[in-house]
Structure 1
Amino acid sequence: MKEHSFLSRVRKILPDLHPAELKLGELVCDFPGEIASYSASELANLAEVSNATVTRFVRRLGYTSYEEARRHARLEKDSGSRLYLNTSKVEAPHSPNVYAQSDIKNIERTIEDLEEADIEALSNTLLTAKKVSLIGFRVGAPLAQYLQWQLLQVIENTVMLPSSGQTLGENLAALTSEDVVILFGLRRRVSQFDTLLEVISQSNAKLVLISDESLSAYSKADWHFRCSTLSSGPLFSHVGVMSLLNLITNRTIEAAGEQGRKRLASIECLNELLGEL
């Protein structure tokens, strides 16, 4: 049986709560990160209810103790739910400069961990691959599409998976050691992500994993780039990811040399002939 999430438990019992418990329940729904961070007494003070109310509340949720409820909330917080980034005490800074400084730090943290040799090796591997496949879910989907569009300038057989009307299994079954798979694993990751990682690893295709900092280093990946995604607001920042993609695509185009320039020239001629741009 699938375990209900912490927040789904809270929302389910809200209509049946007494006034003090309801006050606590509404606080937790709006700011679930509080229960992941605070002790029972601290949460009681924050909601202006008694410790006994907190105890009754967590038991109504089906937990044997406050610590059990907090552990469950922490697991959801670690999974990357944006709701857990909100707090009841601190207002999100609205100054554009605050967000800019946060994004600059994300770019610096992402790039400073890179080895130039890794980018060079990846670029050469992409250019010699039989096929380059990109997979992304949720926020990873548009980032994967962007990378595919850029690589297409010099790598003809660059595709998004799954192909239209097909399943991932139908596409992954054809992978060989001559292929490269670029997989985006950004929070919040889909439930089949770990299984997908294992399937790609067993295919012998080269695996490029692009994730946020919450994912531990994956030893079976040929390249694992962990990007900083911290933010001053409730949403994760992905400028660090974009800086990585910018680096990969530009270096790949440069490494393509004369053959890459010929393909780019051919594309530009066709764009002009067809009047598409």
Structure 2
Amino acid sequence: MTQHIGQRIEAYYQDLPSHERRVADFILAHFDDFAIYSAADLARLTGVSKATVTRLFKRLGFAHFQEVREHARELRNLGVPLVTEPGHTAQAFHRHFEREQANVKAMLDALDPDTLGAIAQAVSTADNVVVMGFRNSYPVALHLRQQLLQVRGQVHVLPQPGQTLAEELASLGDRDVVVVVGFRRRVTSFDRLMAHLHTLPCSVLLIADGTATSARQHADWSVICPLDSISAFDSYAAAMSLVNILASAVLHEHLKSGRQRMARLSHHFEQLDELS
């Protein structure tokens, strides 16, 4: 991606005339929600003319204000937290609900039942299940581990705080399954990690959004969860729904032993008085 508007402002900042610098300062101070303002809003809030706002955007490489809005949408689609419209209204809540529904539906429409069955079979019979995730993917990975632990043992989450991965991956065998959760704005080493996992004897499931195109070639299975949102932040409703579906499918692969394990867990919870 070319430089975003904040980076362009920083590159030109020292050479900006004072009035344009005033607009630039406002954009930098409101970078997460600048896209909700019109050119007239920017002029009014910074006390300059609309022509000054136009000159600034042209200096930054934008032909017109609509191109600035398109630039903001592009950043949002790449996962940059930007507010592109006002929220906190009944209409916004309704549109949020519709967007969440659409994300879950898109994930389910693309999830082949036979593929889910093969994944569930592999996870249920694996000697070890390793769940991996970085940044925003880590909470989804943690939740998946927690749900799978209700059904079976030997489910591990990586990376552990302060630890590297090599020691953990070196012992993986052909009866192990690695689940990699990799949503956008991934760490720079992500594709290298996926390529390395592909060389190991374990099976690999990738749970990601649609931008993980290069990583998908290194996975045995991949499930795409849309993250689209009307807010500044990505939505993980589809990902959490998939965790529920996958854990349930694993349980039904070995329903009797799964129920026995859940009963044992309930006994330990009671003995330790850990849950209210």
Say yes or no: TM over 0.5: yes
Q: CA deviation at 1:54?
A: 3.9
The 5 A counterparts of 1:114-125 are 114-125=111-122
In structure 2, the CA distance between the partners of 1:80 and 1:199, relative to structure 1 (3 Å rule), is same
Q: Which residue of 1 aligns with 2:235?
A: 237
Q: Which residue of 2 aligns with 1:258?
A: 256
Once residues 32 and 13 of structure 1 are traced to their aligned partners in structure 2, the CA distance between those partners, rounded to angstroms, is 20
State which drifts further: 49-58 or 215-224: 49-58
Q: Which residue of 1 aligns with 2:46?
A: none
Q: Secondary structure at the match of 1:49?
A: helix
Q: CA deviation at 1:181?
A: 0.9
Q: Which residue of 2 aligns with 1:39?
A: none
Out of 141, 145, 164, the residue aligned to residue 144 of structure 1 is 141
Q: CA deviation at 1:14?
A: 3.8
Report the TM-score, using the length of structure 1 for normalisation. 0.79
Listed one character per residue, the Cα deviations across residues 220-271 of structure 1 (whole Å, up to 9, x for unaligned) are 2111111121112111111111111110011111212222222222111121
Give the conservation status (yes or no) of the 8 Å contact 1:20–1:49: no
Once residues 100 and 116 of structure 2 are traced to their aligned partners in structure 1, the CA distance between those partners, rounded to angstroms, is 22
Once residues 229 and 180 of structure 2 are traced to their aligned partners in structure 1, the CA distance between those partners, rounded to angstroms, is 23
Counterpart code for 1:105: A
Q: Which residue of 2 aligns with 1:163?
A: 160
Give the conservation status (yes or no) of the 8 Å contact 1:208–1:223: yes
Give the conservation status (yes or no) of the 8 Å contact 1:124–1:255: yes
Once residues 138 and 173 of structure 2 are traced to their aligned partners in structure 1, the CA distance between those partners, rounded to angstroms, is 23
In structure 2, the CA distance between the partners of 1:159 and 1:27, relative to structure 1 (3 Å rule), is same
The 5 A counterparts of 1:212-251 are 212-216=209-213, 218-251=216-249
Out of 48, 51, 54, the residue aligned to residue 49 of structure 1 is 51
Counterpart code for 2:80: S
Q: Secondary structure at the match of 1:183?
A: strand
Backbone CA RMSD of aligned residues: 3.3
Gaps of 5+ in 1: 36-41, 59-64
Give % identity. Answer: 29
Alignment pair present for 1:183 and 2:185: no
Once residues 184 and 260 of structure 1 are traced to their aligned partners in structure 2, the CA distance between those partners, rounded to angstroms, is 24
Q: Which residue of 2 aligns with 1:94?
A: 89
Counterpart code for 1:151: L
Once residues 44 and 55 of structure 1 are traced to their aligned partners in structure 2, the CA distance between those partners, rounded to angstroms, is 16
Counterpart code for 1:236: D
